Amino acid sequence: MLQVLIIGGGPIGLACALEAAKAKLDYLVLEKGCLVNSLYNYPSNMTFFSTSERLEIGKVPFVSNNPKPTRAEALEYYRRVAVSHGVNIRLFEEVKAIKKSGKGFTVTSSKEKYSADNIIIATGFYDIPFKLNVPGEDLPKVTHYYKDPHFYAFQKVVVIGAQNSAVDAALETWRKGAEVTMVVRQPEIGQRVKYWVRPDIINRIKEGSIKAYFNSSVSSIRDREIDINTPDGMVTIENDWVIAMTGYEPNLEFLKKTGIRLSKDSSHKPEYNEKTHQTNIPGIYLAGVICGGMDTHSLFIENSRIHAKRIIADIRKHKKADPVT
């Protein structure tokens, strides 16, 4: 019987693992993909908006050569942390269900069954892309996960969205010779776009290098064209690829199936104690960005690293109060 089973090997799942090890708790992390799977799937050339020390976990220094670290440096950092601390993690093993059983829980993964006294769910928000819900969305030319600009050289690319990921994709692909059109629901480029990148995209649009339709949405996608609903009416343009950077949502169904209550408002925030991170099910805790429900922008690595300490402190408190477990 494990004392703690952590679901998700992202930065915050790892932070929980380090904290559990420090408290000498018998723990295991289960991760459905590779180590820090979400970060691995971010665009290859992505740069964090946080400085490296704000991404540190377990007081392990994160040394970067850049003012803002790159994805490659972050992958290297979290892997080194996992190796140097001998983090007990099983990769490519997805948790399918959590069931109450006696004083603890039975966890069923894609490979095995486990028993644990406590569960920490740190499953992030990068798994389910927001759908456009338009005809043609399922064509192979449409992606919700942009990786690398080279692929799009000399192609007609539509980028949907105007936040960081969309802006990075538009600028990178344009710089590799793509003909880029942005389709933006809002009247302007997002205010949250990295302050050193925003002027770049605004100027490329102003000079006409990148075309942008604001207050507009894609209404249909076909093999060679795309229809855009603009304030001046429907526009049809030739198109090879669509990069839909429309955001992601956490797997809230998994929480519901586990019995965790969600708020009734549009944030669908899971119910948990802000001090201990224990949910309405005693023994099940939430850590990291999943705590925000649909409000995926309020929590990130910087401000959710602290969850690990709060959770492990609470687990230790209960352990002392109940020496049998």
Residue ranges binding ligand FAD (CB under 6 A)? 7-13, 30-33, 37-38, 42, 46, 48-50, 94-95, 122-124, 126-127, 164-165, 288-289, 300-302
Smallest separation, CB 30 to ligand FAD (Å): 5
Toward ligand FAD, which CB reaches closer, 109 or 220? 109
| Closest separation in Å from C-beta 179 to ligand FAD | 24
Would you say 104 or 124 has its CB closer to ligand FAD?
124
CB 289 to ligand FAD: min, Å: 4
**Listed residue (125, 128, 129, 137) closest to 217, CA to CA:** 137
> Residue 107 is encoded by which pair of tokens?
């966890």
The H or E element containing residue 244 is strand 241-244
Least distance between ligand FAD and beta carbon 165 (Å): 5
Pairing of strands 27-30, 89-90: parallel
Q: Are 291 and 272 in contact (CB under 8 A)?
A: yes
For residue 278, what is the DSSP state?
B
Nearer to ligand FAD, 111 or 222 (CB): 111
- What is the phi/psi pair of residue 97, to 5°? -155, 150
Of 120 and 226, which CB lies nearer to ligand FAD in the complex structure?
120
Is the distance from CB of 277 to CB of 311 less than 8 angstroms? yes
Question: Chain-centre distance of CA 192, in angstroms?
Answer: 16
Cα–Cα dist 234/230, whole Å = 6
What is the longest distance spanned by two Cα atoms in the chain? 70
* Residue with smaller CB distance to ligand FAD, 30 or 221: 30
Nearer to ligand FAD, 48 or 174 (CB): 48
Smallest gap from residue 81 Cβ to ligand FAD (A): 13
Q: How far is the CB of 201 from ligand FAD (least distance, A)?
A: 15
List, as one string, the DSSP characters of 199-237: HHHHHHHHTTSSEEESS-EEEEE-SSEEEEEETTEEEEE
